[in-house]
Amino acid sequence: IRIRKDRDKNKNNKVKQECCGILKKEERILRLVTVLVIFGILLLISIVDFKIHMIPDQLNMLLFLAGIWSSFVFQEITITGRVVGIFVVSIPFFIIAVLSSGGLGGGDIKLMAASGVLLGVTGNVFAACFGLLLGGFCGVFLLLTKRIGYKECFALGPFLCLGIAIVFFQINFLQ
């Protein structure tokens, strides 16, 4: 009887190990699909903003929903951090937009709110900094090469999206 119990115990351990292996594989696939969806949304936002200088609310809502979904797949960021992340960059962006009479668009503000759900507080701040630095360098380059005038505007969304993508990848894969 004892031999049979040991055999059953080994059989159960083998089943548990196989089950865990499947879950890890499924988890990797789920993470990959989530990353592809998020990067696809960011790419679409970048293209649309580059072409028409406007980020549609529907695309920002998609990113917001993807951020909620990512909280189940990537649990490195707390729910509290994600909620506070909504406001930590979008409120200063809103103040800048009001004070600068349109220097930042509403789509950029909503983009950073949606990315707050995705990246949390610290990640959203870093993404905004990366995006603004990249956008600033590009703006200076465009001004120096006289491709745009001093009063002309250019799309900031693609640079913010690049900053979001860089920070998202760093948070979820390089830590």
Per-residue pLDDT at 137: 95
| pLDDT for res 6 | 54
pTM: 0.84
pLDDT attached to residue 152: 80
Within the chain, how many helices (H) and strands (E) appear? 5, 0
Q: How far apart are CA 54 and CA 48, in angstroms?
A: 7
pLDDT at 107: 96
What integer pLDDT is reported at residue 30 of this predicted model?
93
Structure tokens at 104: 């930042």
What's the angle, vertex CA 125, arms to CA 115 and CA 98, rounded to 5?
A: 80
The predicted structure's pLDDT at residue 12: 52
- Residue 136: what pLDDT? 92
Q: What is the pLDDT at residue 103?
A: 76
**CB neighbour class for 12 (10 Å; exposed up to 12, middle 13-18, buried from 19):** exposed
Q: Are 160 and 112 in contact (CB under 8 A)?
A: yes
75/77 Cα distance (integer angstroms) = 5
Q: Could you report the average pLDDT of every consecutive run of 10 residues in the chain (175 residues)?
A: 55 50 78 95 97 96 97 92 97 93 88 97 97 94 87 90 97 82
